[in-house]
Amino acid sequence: MTTHDPLASLDGARILLTGGAGLIGSRIHHRLRQVGAQVTVLDNFSAYDDSTFELLGVDRTSSEVVHGDVADEDLIRSLVGESDYVVHAAAYSTVAGCTTNPAIAFASNMAGTDIILRAVAETDSVRRFVFISSAQVYGNGTGGDQAQFFTEEMPTAPLNLYASAKEWGERHTRQLLTKTGTDYTIVRPFSVYGEGQVPKPDAYSWVIAQFSMYAALGQELPLINGGQAIRDRIHVDDAAEGICRAMVAEGASQQILNLGTGTATTVCEAAELVQGHFPQAVVTDAPRLGQDPLGGYASIERMSAALGWTPEISLGQGVARYIAWMNDTPRAIPEWLRKEKNRVSNWSAQESK
Ligand X SMILES: NC(=O)c1ccc[n+]([C@@H]2O[C@H](COP(=O)([O-])OP(=O)(O)OC[C@H]3O[C@@H](n4cnc5c(N)ncnc54)[C@H](O)[C@@H]3O)[C@@H](O)[C@H]2O)c1
List of residues contacting ligand X (CB under 6 A)? 18-19, 21-25, 42-47, 69-71, 89-93, 108, 112, 132, 134, 189, 191-192
> Least distance (Å) from ligand X to the CB of residue 283?
23
Between 191 and 218, CB nearer to ligand X: 191
Asked if residue 189 lies in contact with residue 132, where contact means CB atoms within 8 angstroms, the answer is yes
- Which residues partner with 130 through β-bridges? 87, 185
DSSP-assigned letter for residue 330: G
Please, which residues have CB within 8 angstroms of residue 163's CB and are 6 or more apart in sequence? 95, 134, 136, 137, 139
Q: Which is nearer to ligand X, 16 or 121 (CB)?
A: 16
Q: Report helix, strand or coil for 195.
A: coil
Q: Which is nearer to ligand X, 281 or 313 (CB)?
A: 313
Closest CA to 38 of 16, 6, 68: 16
Q: How far is the CB of 163 from ligand X (least distance, A)?
A: 10
Minimum distance between the CB of residue 39 and ligand X, rounded to whole angstroms?
14
Distances (CA, A) of 119 to 27, 107, 112: 25, 16, 11
Task: State which residue, 188 or 281, has the beta carbon closest to ligand X.
Answer: 188
Give dist(CA 283, CA 303) in Å, integer.
35
Q: Which is nearer to ligand X, 89 or 186 (CB)?
A: 89
Shortest Å, Cβ 257 to ligand X: 12
Find the shortest distance in angstroms from Cβ 47 to ligand X.
4
* Residue 237, CA distances (Å) to 28, 127, 347 in order: 8, 24, 33
